[in-house]
A = this chain, B = another copy of it.
Amino acid sequence: MQDTSTPPLQGLTILDLSRVLAGPYCTMILAQQGARVIKVEIPETGDDSRAFGPFVNGKSLYFSSINYDKKSIALNLKQPADREIFEKLLGIADVLVENYRPGTMEKLGYGWDTLHANYPNLIYGAASGFGDFGPYSRQAAYDMVVQGMGGVMSMTGQPGAPPTRVGVSIGDMTAALYLSIGILGAIYKRSQGGGAMKVDVAMLDCQLSLLEDAIPAYLSLGEVAQPQGSRHPEITPFQVFTTQDSNIVIAAGNDHLFSLLTQVLERPDLLENPDYKTNALRHAHVDVLQADIEGALQNRSTQQWIEALNAAGVPCGPVNTIAEVVKDPQVAARHMIVSIADPVIGNLQVAGNPIKLSSVSERMEHQAPPELDGDRDAILALLNGKD
């Protein structure tokens, strides 16, 4: 019987060959759930993202933001002595994670068929641009490429403006989330006597999973989704508006909320206007309605409107800059920014764990992002059964 208060993945070991973002973001999530993550890095340079700015005292904040609570060993998988160590690590690992282009692991002699024959309990999780099969399988992809190919970019931006990237790397990160789900399903299946398997996640595939109803809307009705600025494609008013001093998001998703909104705005005439009687009518008159609402919003600040709208129960919020996000009291209450004493950076502050569990206490102590090869002795000791 396991202790109910231990993190869900405690006792599991992840061997992590991945670099940059999709793989490391996946293994960070697994580390947050309690797994031990051992990064196996290339000697001399390590994970490519160690060279990505910005830096503090020469240590990458990009690398640090997604590699805390992991350990590092440097191994050259083309050298026999290092391959021997790697193979011993495979023997104690539950999961191998990598995000090379398909074919690379086979060239190293560590393709799935070989690994599965030699380590029948080892689960293998791979993220790549296009996955293990299909005409583009061997092509390289970056986040931007799949954001463009997968359709998300065609739905993002101001109408008529140039193509706009989602400001964060959702191409990589969505693949990391799906890879985490695939690996966890495989871990559960193995626990039920169902054997080990390889999980193959493609960044492009994951982009399609984000399209909501855009695929059937096109294939059944011929409607091609378009960028809408900040507006929702179906619901009105549901967008960003300007106030006296800045911007505000108001999401009045149904007739009741629209009625409450007109009360807070002290504009009962909007509720009586026949053009605004239903969501469909409001949507058809969205430009005029936006002007009406923004006219009413000009006499108070965003903060004042947020207080009034929240008091009435109308969903709303600010468009926060990062400087504002980090000061938000809800973010603090949820422990969503964690402080880590890093020997190089000093007080490193990064995003925390968004999965809150009733039986597991929030983890307040974290290991600093590892120096390259910084845990060699501890990792080699693991191989000798010393935990």
Which residues of the other chain, B, contact A253 by a CB distance below 8 angstroms? 142
Which residues of the other chain, B, contact A182 by a CB distance below 8 angstroms? 355, 357
Q: B133 and A334: CB pair below 8 A?
A: yes
Is A192's beta carbon under 8 Å from chain B? yes
Interfacial residues of chain A within 52-81, with CB under 8 A of chain B in the complex: 52-54, 56, 61-62, 64-66
Q: B356 and A131: CB pair below 8 A?
A: yes
| Interface residue from B177, B218, B240 paired with A323 (Cβ < 8 Å) | B218
Is A215's beta carbon under 8 Å from chain B? yes
Contact with B along A151-164 (1 / 0, CB 8 A): 11111111001111
9-residue interface stretch from A1-9, A36-44, A269-277, A371-379: A1-9
Q: A62 and B213: CB pair below 8 A?
A: yes
Is A287's beta carbon under 8 Å from chain B? no
| Interface residue from B152, B154, B162, B202 paired with A334 (Cβ < 8 Å) | B202
Interfacial residues of chain A within 129-187, with CB under 8 A of chain B in the complex: 130-136, 139-158, 161-170, 173-174, 177-178, 180-182, 184-187
Q: A209 and B351: CB pair below 8 A?
A: yes
Q: How far is the CB of A66 from chain B (nearest CB, A)?
A: 7
Which residues of the other chain, B, contact A213 by a CB distance below 8 angstroms? 54, 61-62, 64-65
Which residues of the other chain, B, contact A29 by a CB distance below 8 angstroms? 181
Count chain A residues whose beta carbon lies closer than 8 angstroms to a beta carbon of B.
155
Is A238's beta carbon under 8 Å from chain B? yes
| Interface residue from B4, B228, B330, B356 paired with A200 (Cβ < 8 Å) | B356
| Interface residue from B134, B135, B354 paired with A208 (Cβ < 8 Å) | B354
Interface CB pairs A-B, < 8 A, 28: A2-B194, A4-B197, A54-B220, A61-B216, A61-B217, A112-B358, A141-B315, A145-B249, A147-B249, A151-B321, A153-B167, A155-B322, A156-B164, A157-B158, A158-B161, A163-B247, A170-B210, A173-B210, A177-B181, A184-B185, A195-B359, A208-B336, A208-B352, A216-B345, A218-B323, A220-B346, A220-B349, A225-B321
Listed from nearest, the 6 A-B pairs whose CB atoms lie closest are: A155-B167, A134-B333, A8-B185, A156-B167, A184-B184, A2-B194
